Amino acid sequence: MKNTGLDKILGRIDDLDSVNLGILVQRLARDRKLQETVFNTIQDGILVIDSEGVVQYANEAAFSLIGLKDDDIGNTRLWKMVPDLARSIDLDQTDATKKAARVLSREVELTYPEHRFVRLYMVPIDTQVGQDDSGGMVVVLSDVTEEKVSMEERIESERIASIMRLSAGVAHELGNPLNSLTIHLQLIERKLKKLQLGETADSMSESIKVCQDEVQRLDGIITHFLEAVRPQQPDLTELDLVELLDDVLRVQEAELSDRRLEVNIEVGKTIPCILGDRGQIKQVFFNLIKNAMEAMQPGGKLRVLARSDDEFVYIQFIDTGSGISEDELSRILQPYYTTKKEGHGLGMMIVQRIIRDHGAQLGIESRKGEGTAITLQFPQQHRRTRLLGV
């Protein structure tokens, strides 16, 4: 909206005396302060760049989004801050193309000062007819990180859900012939005992026992798989994570000792209880400790750290195992993917699902040959109650 009063004054600026000129300067200063206040309350970043891409103005949101500093204003090109943008809009275009300024919209991924996805909307600044300079552009920056991540999570969830539905049907169909095999193997075993064929019967009984063990193993795999693909909603009760951790380590104590692995537990001063499903969180701890054991050689060390702040409770598992490469780390939560020679590739997927169902977060850091650190971040009771009440 035009300021008609100010336009009239500017239209006869050559006729102003020193007093009226001073009034005009004061008015312009007030208008500029008002505009800056308005721009700084906007959550989107706003930049003004000249024809060479040098940033001439930025509001507070723009400073934080792309890591601008005060010294950058008037000195730094936007293309230096966002290199991908320079490539995407083709800065090597001809002068004629540059003069035909266009409205541009781009989505770029930034890694500094934080990892973000930002949508840029660039609008040319109108210039007077006959001017050679393009007049620069106004750039609006919108942080779409949450939208992008949410979309990717929805796509991944739908993909996993479709796989799980198909797999559950296959697993169910496999259960029927396995039950039939179990029954017929039992019948054969009974008939052999009645025939009393001596050594021949003993040899056949051993073969039948092998078949029964394999059928039982397959049945166990299917049962475990169905538990993964048909998740139960967590039964939330007040849960002491440190106490539960002690229970799990007692169960795994013999195996840890056999593998000659050392376990150190470090607990902060106060670890509040959380709202959680005892059985499901126990399964998470069991899976993570089991993974750490299988990744380490004799003499390896597992550190388990428990701490809290005002909002969250953190449980961290740090092992000195073989570690995970960058390529493997990006796929470690995918169904059926495993780095072990033996494994179904569902353990970490189950862990991720349980953690999400509890409103918690899972973080994984690893280096090949050095070890892995897995951090579980659980919301405290008061925070979870507030989130559920929104």
What is the DSSP annotation of 235-293? --EEE-HHHHHHHHHHHTHHHHHHTT-EEEEEE-S----EEE-HHHHHHHHHHHHHHHH
For the stretch 350-381, pLDDT in tens is: 888 888 888 888 888 888 888 889 999 998 88
What average pLDDT score do residues 6-26 get?
Answer: 62
Parallel, antiparallel, or unpaired for β 55-58 and 104-110?
Answer: unpaired
Class of the domain covering 237-389: alpha beta
Strand partners, 124: 137
- Between CA 73 and CA 63 the distance in angstroms is 10
How far does Cα 250 stand from its chain's mean position? Answer: 32
Q: How many Cα neighbours within 13 Å face the side chain of 142?
A: 11
Structure confidence by residue, pLDDT tens digits, 224-256: 666 666 667 788 899 999 999 998 898 888 889
Q: Half-sphere exposure of 148 toward its Cβ, with a 13 Å CA cutoff? A: 13
Query: What is the pLDDT, as a whole number, of residue 5?
Result: 53
The answer to whether the CB of 208 falls within 8 A of the CB of 192 is: yes
pLDDT at 144 over 80: yes
| Highest mean predicted confidence (pLDDT) among 15-24, 201-210, 340-349 | 201-210
pLDDT tier, 279 (very low <50, low <70, confident <90, very high otherwise):
confident
Q: Hey, what's the torsion of the CAs at 6, 7, 10, 11, to 10 degrees?
A: -150
263: number of CA atoms within 13 Å, CB side?
21
pLDDT averaged over every residue in the chain: 77
What average pLDDT does this structure show over 273-286?
90
Q: Are 77 and 53 in contact (CB under 8 A)?
A: yes
Select the highest-mean-pLDDT range: 3-17, 124-138, 300-314, 321-335. Answer: 300-314
Share of residues in the chain with pLDDT > 90 (%): 12
In degrees rounded to 5, what are phi and psi of residue 312? -130, 160
| pLDDT at res. 261 | 92
Q: Which amino acid is at 205?
A: S
The per-residue pLDDT for range 288-345, each reduced to its tens digit, is 998 899 889 999 999 999 998 888 899 999 999 888 877 777 666 665 555 555 555 5
Q: Residue 105: helix, strand or coil by DSSP?
A: strand
Identify residue 297 by its one-letter amino acid code.
Q
- In degrees and rounded to multiples of 5, residue 173 shows phi and psi of -65, -35
pLDDT over threshold 70, residue 126:
no
Give 260's pLDDT tier (boundaries 50, 70, 90). very high
Q: Which 3 state secondary structure label does DSSP give 163?
A: helix
Its pTM stands at 0.47
Q: Rounded CA gap, 34 and 36, in Å?
A: 5
DSSP code, position 77: B
CATH of the domain spanning 42-143, picked from 3.40.50.10860, 3.40.50.740, 3.20.20.140, 3.30.450.20 = 3.30.450.20
